Amino acid sequence: MRSGTTKLIIGIVVVAVAAALVWNFAPRSRSARTLDFTTYETTWQHRVDGLLKGRQSAPSSCWTLGGTGQYLPGFGSVESYCWTSRSGHQLNFRFVKITTSGQKELLYMPESSDWKLQYGFCVVHLSGPWWQLASGVQHCPAGFTPVPPRTK
């Protein structure tokens, strides 16, 4: 009887350890960490409005801010920013930051249908015209939608 009880306990321990190992090492989606648009939306809008007033007439343009970069509350250090204008669409504006896990962007896009133009990114709608983009469509964070790279 003791031998049977010991074998049962050893069997339960082995199954529990195996389950713990599978849980620890099983591939899972990265958890989504979205930007806090509720707190910072007014600040972001003010920054976009100011930058768009000073823009040139070029349909699309980007600026790299270098190592000093500007700080955008709720986003962090901005390494570059871009605007994109497509015929028949409203102007889009991006704040860009490069992180160790890839590129992170805050996108101001008044036309929600344009999110499909964000080829090669993972996207999540924050609120109104605000979207968050992350690089790496093969492994998007939970809650983000992958937009496959553009094919010719």
Parallel, antiparallel or unpaired: strands 92-99 and 102-108 = antiparallel
pLDDT above 90: residue 40: yes
* Whole-Å CA distances, 96 to 26, 71, 85, 106: 31, 11, 17, 7
pLDDT above 90: residue 63: no
Find the largest Cα–Cα distance for the chain: 87
pLDDT of residue 27: 43
pTM above 0.75, yes or no: no
- The model's pLDDT over 99-148, given as tens digits with 9 standing for 90+, comes to 777 778 899 888 766 666 778 888 898 988 899 988 876 788 888 888 88
- The model's pLDDT over 12-34, given as tens digits with 9 standing for 90+, comes to 655 555 555 444 444 444 445 78
Would you give the DSSP letter of residue 36?
Answer: -
In whole angstroms, give the CA distance from residue 71 to residue 54: 18
